[in-house]
Amino acid sequence: MCSCVPLYNFSYVYNYIMVSPRSFVDSFLDVKEGRYNPKMSPKIPREKWRKGSQWFTLVRNHAEVIVDDDVIFSVFKRYCKRRPPIDTRKGKLNLKLQKQHNCIPDEHYVQTLLALHGLEGELERRTVTYTLWNQSTTKTDNKGWHPMTFSYANASPRRIKEIKDINHVYYETEHRTEWCRTNATFIPCFLFARKFSQGAAMRLLGDGIIDHFDVSALLGNTP
């Protein structure tokens, strides 16, 4: 089992998010992949199509826009569906299935909806969750990008410090550098990181890399 871990203690994370008047939503132009379905137009024009991380934090008015939406959601429900994974038991049927339009709705919906409402100027257009992507092949999918899993060996204090020291993100499709700041003050980009194995998480806790924590209490061990 792999999971997301905090890079800072609760107080730091809370203050980081709450002091900002903006939502943190990773959002950028999606020009390389064919996930946009022309049938979405005119309700979702191509120029408003966005992509980004599924990890975001929202201020109240942006959350209300999402909760109140039933128009764009219905378009996504109809035209943005994930293509079924390859199933060796289906034989030649896989060829037909792999020709279906492929779309990952949770990487597009929030970003596109906020763009359609003209709210991008109210966003920190970046995620606060770090992910290291690796191009690989899985048993159920073709070659693609997948999040790397940190193991016990590479969850070192030095590696965590490198992540915490990141202060900007570059978006190639927009030739845009997003500097990480709030209220004009430069800050670390990431509050969380993924994906970490159980062993890696225990190392972070046991070595006090994130914060001081008694691992024996988590394991139910008695002194």
Asked if residue 143 has pLDDT above 80, the reply is: no
Least confident of 119-123, 126-130, 148-152: 148-152
- Report the predicted TM-score, pTM, of the whole model to 2 decimal places: 0.80
Are 135 and 199 within 8 A, CB to CB?
no
- The answer to whether 53 touches 129, Cβ cutoff 8 Å, is yes
Higher-pLDDT residue of 136 and 173 is 173
The sign of the torsion formed by the CA atoms of 208, 215, 202, 11 equals negative
User: Taking all residues of the chain, what is their mean pLDDT, rounded to a whole number?
Assistant: 84
The mean pLDDT value for 196-213 works out to 78
- Burial-class residue 217 by CB neighbours within 10 Å (0-12, 13-18, 19+): exposed
Least confident residue range of 6-10, 30-34, 70-74, 193-197: 30-34
Q: Using H for helix, E for strand and C for coil, what is the string for 112-147?
A: HHHHHCCCHHHEECCCCEEECEEEEEECCEEEEEEE
How many whole angstroms from its chain centre is CA 8? Answer: 18
